[in-house]
Amino acid sequence: MRTLLLSLTLLIGNVLSRLYMPNVHINYNTLQSIQTIDSHGKAQLSFKILQIPDMHYTGTPSHLCRNPPHDPCHESNMTSYIEQMLDNVAPDFVVFTGDQVEDIEVTHTADEVRHAIDSYTKHVIKRKIPWAMVFGNHDEGSSMSRLEMFDYISSLPYSYTKLGPEWIGGVGNYELHINSPDFMPVFRMYFLDTGFDGVISEAQNTYMRDLALWYRYQDLSAIMFYHIPIPEYNLYDGEVLKHGYQGEAVCNGPQSGLLDNLVKMGDVKATFVGHDHLNDYCVERHQIQLCYGGGAGYGQAYGSPTIARSARVIEWQRNSSKETLTTWKVADGDYTKSAYTLFERSFN
Ligand SMILES: *[C@@H]1O[C@H](CO)[C@@H](O)[C@H](O)[C@H]1NC(C)=O
Ligand SMILES: *[C@@H]1O[C@H](CO)[C@@H](O)[C@H](O)[C@H]1NC(C)=O
């Protein structure tokens, strides 16, 4: 009865919001959190996301590695790494945070681009793991536009990637909801396209803010994924990292006001980017954690012979008294879980 009443309230809230904000594209495609029993015998909800950044798939398994950490080194080493990681981490959801495919060579035909897309999506599809993505600056070339790639990507099995509004800048600005087993929303993810140069338009900022405003009655925590870091990812002079390493200078986009916007939205506790393959740290700015995913790419992706290719796990958990968001890195060959708390809050 309580659930029914709550559902009814949510439905009415949605209908009312819709009248006031007709521009918001509500996403009815929801995911489900996992319910387990904790050490106190109480129900606990969780959701484990694997962020895989910067694969730069060409679709040719024998494509040689740039900056190889071992010899021989081919794109096929990335495929082994991703498969091992999926089996080891067993995520509930996978997010590819840009530069999934390498399409800078003008010789690539649309068929080759589709083959490269198949090369990275087949691992999750085979394991029936739901997944989503944002585009990076390399995911488009002369042979296939972002929109065409998007059409193909969203047609693939277990894809939760959504187009979002088409007029605000970029392709694929959207949100995804995670529900409890009784269909109550419990957690949220936002996805943003930072294009080729990291510019986030005023309309994209407004759209994200409208979404947060729309859902504010739910009082949920959220995270955001995009490809190119914002300027606030830069470290202060002498800043000591609490989690992760900086292996290269931050290659951020221009100041587009995203951090200010996130502060206004209020629900986003952490953002996750890629782009700088050798950075895998998190820094806190205005109580929002700004995290890198690392770089998973062997093959055409640049890397370092001495820094292991890596990806990131993000785990959300909630029971009757506490909500926590933790993260850890998964380097190729190293699955030790060294969890770092991004956010937590107590209820009552
Ligand atoms: C990388 O892939 C090659 C085949 O391309 C294989 O011979 C080699 O063992 C792999 N290396 C590692 C470290 O997995
Ligand atoms: C909720 O989970 C936290 C750890 O995240 C634990 O310390 C606490 O005891 C749990 N509370 C209940 C009531 O199960």
CA of 39 to the centre of ligand 2 (A): 8
Query: What confidence score (pLDDT) does residue 102 get?
Result: 87
pLDDT grade for 18, boundaries at 50, 70 and 90 = low
Contact present, 211 and 189 (Cβ < 8 Å): no
Q: Which domains does the chain have, with CATH numbers?
A: 27-346 (3.60.21.10)
Question: Which of the ligands is closest to the CA of residue 80?
Answer: 1
Q: Whose CA is closest to atom 5 on ligand 1? A: 74
Q: Whose CA is closest to atom 8 on ligand 1? A: 72
Q: Whose CA is closest to atom 1 on ligand 1? A: 77
- Measured CA to CA, the distance from residue 328 to residue 126 in angstroms comes to 25
Per-residue pLDDT reduced to its tens digit, 152-209:
999 999 999 999 998 899 999 999 999 998 889 999 999 999 999 999 999 999 999 9
Cβ atoms < 10 Å from Cβ of 245: 14
> What is the number of the ligand 1 atom nearest to the C-alpha of 69?
13
> What is the number of the ligand 1 atom nearest to the C-alpha of 298?
1
Q: Whose CA is closest to atom 7 on ligand 2? A: 322
Cβ atoms < 10 Å from Cβ of 32: 16
CA of 36 to the centre of ligand 2 (A): 12
Residue 235's contacts (CB-CB under 8 Å, 6 or more residues apart) are: 241, 246, 250, 283
Q: What region does 186 belong to: left with phi over 0, alpha with psi -120 to 50, or beta?
A: alpha
For the segment 262-267, the average pLDDT, to the nearest whole number, is 98
Contact present, 253 and 230 (Cβ < 8 Å): yes
DSSP 279: B
Residue 334's contacts (CB-CB under 8 Å, 6 or more residues apart) are: 308
Question: Ligand 1 — pocket residues by CB below 6 A?
Answer: 70, 72-74, 76-77, 80
Q: Give me the helices (H) in the chain, please.
A: 2-20, 75-89, 110-126, 146-155, 202-214, 258-265
Alpha-carbon dihedral 283, 286, 289, 294, rounded to 10 degrees: -50
Question: Which of the ligands is closest to the CA of residue 84?
Answer: 1
Backbone angles phi, psi at 75, to 5 degrees: -55, -30
Query: Residue written as tokens 């970029």?
Result: 170
Per-residue pLDDT reduced to its tens digit, 228-241:
999 999 999 999 99
Tokens of 73: 């080194």
Query: What confidence score (pLDDT) does residue 110 get?
Result: 87
Query: What confidence score (pLDDT) does residue 17 get?
Result: 53
Question: Which of the ligands is closest to the CA of residue 348?
Answer: 2
Mean pLDDT lowest among 33-47, 95-109, 328-342: 95-109
Query: What confidence score (pLDDT) does residue 70 get?
Result: 95
Per-residue pLDDT reduced to its tens digit, 108-122:
788 889 999 999 999
Ligand 2 site-directed mutation target among 35, 36, 37, 40, most atoms within 8 Å of CB? 40
Q: What region does 67 belong to: left with phi over 0, alpha with psi -120 to 50, or beta?
A: left
CA of 89 to the centre of ligand 1 (A): 21
Listed residue (61, 64, 100, 39) closest to 225, CA to CA: 100
> What is the number of the ligand 2 atom nearest to the C-alpha of 322?
1
pLDDT grade for 105, boundaries at 50, 70 and 90 = low
Question: Ligand 2 — pocket residues by CB below 6 A?
Answer: 38, 40, 42, 317, 319-322, 324
CA of 197 to the centre of ligand 2 (A): 43
CA of 178 to the centre of ligand 1 (A): 38
Query: What confidence score (pLDDT) does residue 1 get?
Result: 47
Q: In what side-by-side order are the strands of the sheet with 174-179?
A: 31-32, 174-179, 185-191, 222-225, 268-273, 288-292, 282-285
CA of 35 to the centre of ligand 2 (A): 14
- CA pseudo-torsion sign 167, 171, 173, 178: positive
Question: Which of the ligands is closest to the CA of residue 299?
Answer: 1
Q: Whose CA is closest to atom 6 on ligand 2? A: 322
Ligand 1 site-directed mutation target among 58, 60, 71, 80, most atoms within 8 Å of CB? 80
Ligand 2 site-directed mutation target among 45, 317, 319, most atoms within 8 Å of CB? 319
CA of 73 to the centre of ligand 1 (A): 6
Residue type, 287: Q
Q: Helix or strand or coil: residue 75? A: helix
